[in-house]
Amino acid sequence: MKSLHARGTSVEGPLARCTAMMWRARVTLAALLAGLCAAPAWAHSASDAYLTLTADRGAATARTLVHGQWDVALRDLDFALTLDADGDGAIRWSEVRAREAAIARYVYRALAVRGDGAACRIVPGSQKIAEHADGAYAALFFDIACDGRASALTLDYALFFAIDPSHRGIVVIRTGDDVATALLAPERRSVRWTP
């Protein structure tokens, strides 16, 4: 049986219950869709790596020497190499240490340097952890050694481009008192400078 209330607008009965259920379902669906649409913004940060190169002008040898530090986000390395061995969502120092060799192989194969057109050697050094505003990074220290005194160096960069075309390499080059920067992307993979 239905009952009408003269003062209110509520109607009791099957039709009213059905209308209320439909309204609740629409609100729930709208909230669910809003959550799904917002989830990608929370789930993914921009993929960046920071490469700092410092020319060693004090090297009194017949070669060109550049010191490098490459900070690569652990979240990006985890995606490529599965650093989180126990799958608990937290990357621990012990997990990073266990994968140091794999990290070095993966990262250094994405970098090539030429001095006046001739290939230079990348000499890996130590690895540490660096904190950035958006999380922890593997900090790889290395040297670039080129035979002879190169008048120009060209760096070719390809880290993560095959799996993440939105990745960017942020390069800072220090030569004496001069500082230059470059932003490397799939469409601009190289930078040339005078050491």
Residue-wise pLDDT tens digits, 30-77: 444 444 443 333 344 679 999 999 998 765 667 899 999 999 999 999
* pLDDT value of residue 1: 43
Torsion angle, CA of 157/163/165/170, rounded to 10 degrees?
A: -40
Q: Which segments in the chain show pLDDT lower than 50? A: 1-12, 14-23, 25-44
For the chain, give every domain's residue range: 3-43, 48-193
* pLDDT value of residue 131: 95
pTM of the model: 0.75
* pLDDT value of residue 40: 38
User: At 176, is the secondary structure helix, strand, or coil?
Assistant: coil
Quote the tokens at residue 92.
């621990």
Quote the tokens at residue 41.
């913004």
CB 157 within 8 A of CB 111: yes
CATH number of 48-193: 2.60.40
* pLDDT value of residue 46: 78
